[in-house]
Structure 1
Amino acid sequence: MRLFTSALQRLLASEQAGSVLLVLATCLALAIANSSFAGHYHAVWHTLSLGLSLEEWVNDGLMAIFFLLIGLELKRELYVGELSSRNNALLPTIAALGGMLLPALIFWQFNHGSAFQAGVGIPMATDIVFALGVLSVLGARVPVSLKVFLMAFAVIDDLGAAILIAVFYTASVSWLYLAAALAVLAGLFALNRWRVVSIFPYALGGALMWWLTLKSGVHPTLAGIALAFAIPFSRVGQHSLSHRLEHFLHWPVAMLILPLFAFANTGLAISTQGFTTLFLHSNSLGIMTGLFFGKPIGITLAVWCAVKAGVCALPQPLRWAHIIGAGMLGGVGFTMSIFIANLAFTGQPDIIQLSKMAILTGSLLSGLFGWCWLRATLAAR
């Protein structure tokens, strides 16, 4: 438990600062995209290098490192964290399922049968960095169990998003390249089995697996999660390769990769007509409603049903008001929602822009209301 607590403290410390950088990067991108430099901004991100644009290097390359960190965090949770026992894992797992299914259902009601139904995965995601960043602003008043609950269901949420990407957002597959990627992965697991603990063969194998996955047509960021599970892990101490790599990646992911992703993907041209469309279009309404209403209702309702059925219990000192507040913060989709929007509407820049505006609006409202709710709730203890 001490190991998990120290890891949680490091995570919160990095993500509080990281959430500030995400806001700054987003504001800077919006300012530039609505200035005379907008043309230069977009031209830079579409500059080709080694066969990919700079935007693709960020979204497909650097974000694979983010997914590697997600995989390492999930593996730690499964071995020594909140997901290591059935009783502890049930509550956040059920919360994550409710927080994915209801937003997807809401979006589907707005868009099924239309050209926009591919965006059903957009409101299902939770941004760990922003959600924990908002929670950490509330300081020491926040119970550790609430931080753990939010982090656990957000990690499961991201795993669900990764599965969604693999299953529904892969247009065509080159089975030869995919088989080669899986062969590399099998080799990495063999290195783990042979107790090879040097980072270099895993890094080289991971890079090759990323390239093969990219060529296969499956989104290459999934290679990051696959690599995480091949890296050696030890339940004892913090000296295994997995522990050291997770600790090393926290800073560059929170302080560099995610802000750069935000800067590359949130340069939206804002206009009065755009805001009018935002509140009239079925796609944007489905995203905003799914994030702002679907997330807290889905999470709270799923947990309530599980507790009433006797499947699991609220850990002390969590109360229902805390679950509602955590559900509101779960509506901060941002990074993962933008990521899925880019995949869902490839080749449709206008719909991608509208989706991103809806994501920013829904995430901002969710974060603000979640912060206000928990601030009032925690002050009333």
Structure 2
Amino acid sequence: MILRAFLRTEAGSTSVLLIATVLALLWANSPWGHTYEAFWHTHMGISFGDALFTLDLRHWVNDGLMTVFFFLIGLEASYEVRLGQLRDRRLIAVPAVAALGGMLVPAGIYLLLNFGGPGAGGWGVPIATDTAFVLGVLAVVGARCPDPLRAFLLTLAIVDDVLAIMIIALFYTASLSVPALLIAAVLLAAVLTLRWLKIWRAPAYIVLGFALWVATLQSGIHPTLVGIALGILVFVYVPTDHKLLLAGEAVQEFTSEPSAQAARVAARRVQRAVSVNERLQLRLQPWSSYVIVPVFALANAGVRLDGETLRAALTSPIAIGVALGLLAGKFIGISLGTWIPLRFGWGTLPGNLVWGQLLGGAAVSGIGFTVALFIVDLAFEDPALHDQAKIGILAGSLLAAVLGWVIFRLAWDRGGVCAPPEAEPAEELPETLSVPVGPGDHVRGAADARVTIVEYGDFECPYCGRLHPILEELRKKNQDVRVVFRHFPLRTIHPRAAAAAIVSEAAADQGRFWEMHDILYDNQRFLTDADLEHYAAELDVAPWSDVPGHNSRIAVDESSGQDSGVRGTPTLFLNGVRYQGSLNLDSISKAVADLRESP
């Protein structure tokens, strides 16, 4: 849910961000262009008696509002590490190395052109990817591209953002104030203490967070580091059965006797069942996407595009270095960073992504905007260098978007990537099982049962998970019914399904397939390698003992499923004939009863 909501918000906000960028450029190049810089240099402050804390408007945006943006990055990173894709080391390895390559190569290209010159300090400008623009471009050029590609790029962007913030903290801190740094450390310790004591009063965190932000700003370290640190510290957890039970009871009570009091109790209990991390993401993401980041673009994207400025940019190693870093550096770095871990078996991709999709994703990842503009403000003091770097960002990002669009179109025209569903020819699927049940099948029930239910299933498929107890109840109530399970992992949708199938086959080698089958369906949300190894240890099974052999066994089931017209899971065959009814107990029971009564 969090991933889908995040993708929708970022893609939808791209148009707002683009409008803000265009407005900034129009403002800076209008007859009133001189008011652009004058307005953003207007000072605004807060006074406490004789003490005065003041910043200009641009710094309030860059150092203040953008802290919320980085706070959300911390929240998302924390969620993904604990419950999401970053929890699975096999899935994080490829995008993490790709993100690293997508930072090192652009920085290297930039330094090749600027080392030892006045722009050498801007090597951090082309290293970051702008998630909002990337997902927005994907929505335009590849609206039907698979979710695994978006998931891959989102994971890459999270790693990219975290590394970029570390670079800002380490390389773009001009000077340090030790007293302010000590105060910041004490305030951070206070936040950690509240967390340890499980005190969740929002006002306490707001006051401490603001004080920590001020202390960090005064210390010389960029205060956005506070945002990501606090975001990572926010608790994230899977709802407990107890909280879900309380929420369910409250909703049921409201349904039976609606009242304002019952509605308030139900809303509160449902809300408390979800972690603070997820609630904050839901509340703050629209503000960040539709207000904070566009205001940041309005405050920073304005650059004078007159003849003199453009001529200077065309020969400026800063502008050329930034543009080439974003266009070529990101493409080469991410492509190599994807190929290397796949070549050496360090990890897997989320779904059956092909190189056409990955290369298109690597190209559009060269759209660097938000963090790139952010680093420009830290790297250069000379306004002329500012403008050259910004022109490089705009040119490189635009060219990267065009390159990505071209790659996606070429792949689309060849039918290899993002082909629209309506382009697929209609297919008449067979109605009968192509391969009868035999000795190699996983069978649960009597061999002479009158009704045989063959299920093509996927251990990560939620619909298969719901069907599992229905089939088990049906089998227990009817002694003349047996259930056969055949593997059909949907690799493009469920990245952990194949690994779960392999572990089940390892258990089958020791005659414990159905025990592992039940464990996997009871723990569908927890199928990382570490989880699978834990389940295997419970049954004293070596999970990866014969991966090639188990893959071959799974491929046999997949082949029979394809020949039988299986295109999704769960697909059932009753006595060799495809079942077309609803996947509930009553409907399947009726179909079984009809078969038992037939001659």
TM-score computed with the length of structure 2 as normaliser: 0.61
Check the 8 A contact 1:142/1:378 in 2, yes or no.
no
Spell out, residue by residue over 1:304-326, the C-alpha distance to the aligned partner (whole angstroms, 9 max, x if none): 12111122233422011111111
Counterpart position of 2:336: 301
Show the counterpart of 2:388: 354
* Among 96, 111, 114, the residue aligned to 1:111: 114
Preserved contact between residue 67 and residue 226 of structure 2 (Cα < 8 Å): yes
**Partner residue of 2:144?**
141
- Matched with 2:432 is none
Letter in 1 for 2:61: V
**Does residue 363 in structure 1 map to residue 397 in structure 2?**
yes
The alignment status of 1:88 with 2:91, answered yes or no, reads: yes
Match of 2:186 in 1: 183
User: What whole-Å deviation, never above 9, does each CA across 1:168-207 have from its counterpart, x for those lacking one?
Assistant: 0001001111121122112112211222223222222111
Matched residue, 1:372: 406
What residue number does 2:560 align with? none
Match of 1:218 in 2: 221
Q: Equivalent residue of 1:141, what SS?
A: coil
Q: What SS does the corresponding residue of 1:18 show, helix, strand or coil?
A: helix
**Deviation of the 1:370 alpha carbon:** 1.2
Pick 1 or 2: higher relative contact order, CA cutoff 8 A, min separation 6: 1
More strand by share: 2
Quick one: structure 1 residues 31 and 373, their matched pair in 2 at CA, closer, same or farther if it must change by over 3 Å?
A: same
Deviation at 1:138, TM superposition (A): 4.0
Q: Deviations over 1:77-100 (max 9, x none)?
A: 111111112111101101100100
Residues 231-259 of structure 1: CA deviation (Å, up to 9, x unaligned):
22223376221111111111000000010
Based on CA coordinates, which of the two structures has the bigger radius of gyration? Answer: 2
- Distance in 2 (CA, whole Å) between partners of 1:45 and 1:313 is 46
Q: 2:231 aligns with which of 228, 232, 236?
A: 228
Contact kept? 1:98, 1:302, Cα under 8 Å = yes
1:289 is aligned with what amino acid?
Answer: L
Aligned counterpart for 1:337 among listed residues 348, 357, 372:
372
Aligned position for 1:3: none
Between the aligned partners of 1:79 and 1:140, the Cα distance in structure 2 is: 29
Paired amino acid for 1:296: F
Q: Which amino acid in the other structure matches residue 28 of structure 1?
A: L
Does 1:55 pair with 2:58? yes
Deviation of the 1:140 alpha carbon: 4.7
Paired residues for 1:183-262 under 5 Å: 183-236=186-239, 239-262=274-297
Which residue of 57, 74, 78 maps to 1:75? 78
What SS does the corresponding residue of 1:256 show, helix, strand or coil? helix
Ranges in structure 1 where 5+ consecutive residues have no aligned partner: 1-5
Aligned to 1:25: 20
Answer with 194-203 or 333-342: which moved more: 194-203
Shift of 1:354: 0.9
C-alpha displacement of 1:54 = 0.6
Tell me what 1:34 maps to: 29
1:288 match? 323
- Does the C-alpha gap of structure 1 residues 242 and 315 become closer, same or farther in structure 2, counting only changes over 3 Å? closer
| Distance in structure 1 (CA, Å) of the matches to 2:350 and 2:86 | 14
Superposed, 1:1-12 pairs within 5 Å as: 6-12=1-7
In the alignment, which of 328, 333, 346 is matched to residue 311 of structure 1?
Answer: 346
Alpha-carbon distance in structure 2 between the residues aligned to 1:132 and 1:199: 32
Equivalent position SS for 1:232: coil
- Secondary structure at the aligned position of 1:25 is classed as helix
CA deviations over 1:77-124 (Å, ceiling 9, x no partner): 111111112111101101100100000111111111112110011110
SS at match of 1:49: strand
Q: CA deviation at 1:21?
A: 0.8
**TM-score, normalised via structure 1 length:** 0.95
1:173 aligns with 2:176: yes
Code of the residue aligned with 1:232 in structure 2: it is F
Is residue 45 from structure 1 mapped to residue 40 from structure 2 by the alignment? yes
Q: What is the distance in 2 between the residues matched to 1:367 and 1:229? A: 31
Equivalent-residue separation in structure 2 for 1:26 and 1:225 (angstroms): 25
Alpha-carbon deviation of 1:162? Answer: 0.2
> Which amino acid is the alignment partner of residue 391 of structure 2?
M
User: Which secondary structure does the structure 1 equivalent of 2:86 belong to?
Assistant: coil
Contact residue 173 and residue 221 of structure 2 kept, 8 A: yes
> Could you tell me which of 361, 370, 379 is aligned with 1:326?
361
What is the rounded CA distance, in whole Å, between the counterparts of 1:314 and 1:61 in structure 2?
Answer: 37
SS of the equivalent of 1:155 reads helix
C-alpha contact (below 8 Å) 1:79/1:235 kept by paired residues = no
Using the TM superposition, give the Cα deviation of residue 41 of structure 1 relative to its aligned residue in structure 2, in angstroms.
Answer: 2.3
Q: Is the 8 A contact 2:98 2:337 kept in 1?
A: yes
The alpha carbon displacement at 1:40 in A equals 2.1
**C-alpha displacement at 1:136, in angstroms?**
2.2
1:269 positional shift? 0.9
Counterpart AA for 1:37: W
Does 2:312 match 1:269? no
- Is contact 1:126-1:154 (8 Å) kept? yes
Conserved in 2, the CA contact under 8 Å of 1:74 and 1:155?
Answer: yes
What are the ranges of 5 or more consecutive residues in structure 2 without an aligned counterpart? 46-53, 241-272, 417-599
What's the offset of the Cα at 1:150?
A: 0.3
What RMSD over aligned residues (CA atoms) do the two structures have, in Å? 1.4
Which protein has the bigger helix share? 1
Give % identity: 39
Which secondary structure state, in structure 2, belongs to the residue aligned with residue 83 of structure 1? Answer: helix
Give aligned pairs, total.
375
Does the 8 Å contact 2:93/2:348 carry over to 1? no
Task: Identify which of 58, 83, 105 aligns with 1:102.
Answer: 105
Which amino acid is the alignment partner of residue 65 of structure 1?
Answer: V
Contact 2:357 2:408 in 1 (8 A): yes
